[in-house]
Amino acid sequence: MFIFLFSGCPDIEVIPEIPEIEFLSFTITEDIDDLGNDILLGELIFSFQDGDGDIGLPNPDTIVPGDTTQYNLFFTMYEKSEEEYILLDEDELGAPLYYRIPYVEPREGQNKILRGEIKIDFEYPTIKYDTIKYDFYITDRSLNKSNIESTTDISFTEWKD
């Protein structure tokens, strides 16, 4: 009887406490911004899992510009020139490429694993490049850095004037 009780309990799944991400898709659609201007919207979707469930940051009282500890989703952008990728820095882009994943409440109980999908929207009011790609990663609240994932090539050639 004693063995029967223990064999009925489900095993606790164990995965690393370092977050893992996986690129799923990047799509571009045409839209109109709040001022009535034509823009392109990019939608990135990626999945994540984290063994200890400490994904996301609580809303801060203040955000200090340039303080990257207040962000947990980081991008690097590359322009594709012929068959080579050229790193584009923040000065050239005119904007930083980091974001905040909102606080996710940890699960109660022994199994703290979090899994899900995250969607990020990009606005492209002007098209400067023919083809780009992004590398990206996340950090959790323990400052564990995930693996780095890459988008597929993102082509703007059909929208360029």
- Which CATH number goes with the domain that contains 44? 2.60.40
In the chain, the number of structural domains is: 1
Q: Is residue 1 part of a domain?
A: no
Q: Is residue 76 part of a domain?
A: yes
pLDDT tens digits, 126-151: 888 899 999 999 999 999 999 999 99
Q: Is residue 161 part of a domain?
A: no
Q: Is residue 120 part of a domain?
A: yes
Q: Is residue 121 part of a domain?
A: yes
Q: Kindly report the backbone phi and psi dihedral angles of residue 146, in degrees, each rounded to the nearest multiple of 5, phi listed first.
A: -75, 180
Tell me the whole-structure pTM to 2 decimals. 0.83
Q: Is residue 7 part of a domain?
A: no
pLDDT tens digits, 22-76: 999 999 998 888 888 888 999 999 999 999 889 998 887 676 766 667 889 999 9
Q: Is residue 9 part of a domain?
A: no
Question: What is the residue range of 133's domain?
Answer: 26-155
